Amino acid sequence: MSDLRERATALDSADPLAALRELFTLDDTVYLDGNSLGALPRHVPARMQDVITREWGSLRIRSWDESGWWTAPERIGDRIAPLVGAAAGQIVVGDSTSVNVFKAVVAATRLAGEGRDEILVDATTFPTDGYIAASAARMTGHRVVPVAPADVPAALGPRTAAVLLNHVDYRSGRLHDLPGLTAAVHAAGALAVWDLCHSAGALPVGLDAHRVDLAVGCTYKYLNGGPGSPAYLYVAERHQEAFDSPLPGWTSHADPFGMTPGYVPADGSVRGRVGTPDILSMLALEASLDVWDGVSVDAVRAKSLALTDFFLECVAAYVPEGRVTPVTPAPHAERGSQVSLRCEVPEETEPVMRALVERGVVGDLRRPDVLRFGFTPLYVGFADAERAARILAEVLGV
């Protein structure tokens, strides 16, 4: 144990991202649940105080123009863009991830054209994605085909309209092959829709480089936007002119204040808007993104892999073989920024996580038997990883 503690100290001392931890409101808890809700950046409360008291309280309706409220969805989208490898003008912020999945899937089927009536859906996906895809299929006359990501190339065919995939599996932390699968989807003449909820802000995505068609993601995990912060929708520039949103709201109209009965879509990413932007949560997100100024996503990825490697090493050293089994892939090319451990006895899973939380290690679980530990490189260090593994061993009675 002393060797691993000493290594953790040395690794933290050499960590080029270590100083970023001071940008967040944290205590001595080991917080390994940033893959569900990111920590609060310290400066956000002051920014929100100004938004509430001055922009809303004093300027009131004038803030739509004078404080830039009206353009916030596109402006904040342009700030997220570099974090997911996209050029400006392709991301709009607003609505929930679920709503944006609906927009993206329906729009993808419309872009695919006639004769394609199948939507392939990641069979291991976060449940809501599957629910939304099934509803979209019923509404558009398509058929949903559940398929494991690795089996997508073999399942593609002339009837495939769109494929909806998660970049990182929310249970296991497995990183799927976005470049390879997107290329396979395109070779079959279909469109690729990616859910980035568990990858954006943790690893490079490369939306433009890999010619992804549409993508969605939340902002309250690795982007630290706050509980329920608005999601985002990416529409590749080459599709924007033909992008036909199934939710044509007034704020995506070419002349929103004309209030005309006929809908004419705006140009660019604005087409992804629907109703009035949720300004308070949106501006909290915008302030939160300040912590990314000058931060390289490649550096974040390098630290993420080093952290998860070290945590797995500590678990292997501290916890007797067989008590927990890693389900997160060992190869770096297949790993997101979390480590999932399967409990040998499923009934122990919830009591073990409760005990960890009581002892200052906050992770979460997925029933029936998976303990999840998310590693957010902006504020999690190597000493955190060592302490979490050591306390896990103690909780398991070692």
The runs of H, that is alpha helices, within 113-201 are 127-140, 152-155, 178-187
Cα–chain center distance at 376: 12
Residue 157 and residue 188 in contact, taking contact as beta carbons nearer than 8 Å = yes
Nearest to 326 by CA among 34, 375, 313: 313
β pairing state of 160-166 and 118-122? parallel
Q: Is 262 helix (H, G, I), strand (E, B) or coil?
A: coil
Active site residue 221: yes
Active-site residue, 103 included: no
Q: Catalytic pick from 195, 278, 369, 384?
A: 195
- 220 tagged catalytic: yes
Q: Is residue 126 flagged as an active site residue?
A: yes
Per the omega criterion (within 30 degrees of 0), is the bond before 368 cis?
Answer: yes
CB atoms within 10 A of CB 394: 14
Pick from 121, 268, 97: which is nearest to 196 by CA? 97
How many Cα atoms sit within 13 Å of 351 on the Cβ side?
Answer: 7
Q: Tell me the HSE value of 303 on the side-chain side, using a 13 A CA sphere.
A: 27
Given 126, 170, 310, 379, the catalytic residue: 126
CA distance 181 to 191: 11
Task: Please pick, among 21, 116, 174, 221, the residue that the annotation labels catalytic.
Answer: 221
Q: How many CB atoms lie within 10 A of CB 187?
A: 10
User: Which among 174, 303, 335, 372 is annotated as catalytic?
Assistant: 372
Quickly count: other Cβ atoms within 10 Å of residue 306's Cβ: 17
Catalytic residue status for 195? yes
Say what the alpha-carbon torsion angle 218, 222, 227, 229 is, to the nearest 10 degrees. -40
Set 31, 220, 222, 243: catalytic member: 220
Strands 143-147 and 324-326: unpaired
Active site amino acids: 126, 195, 220-221, 372
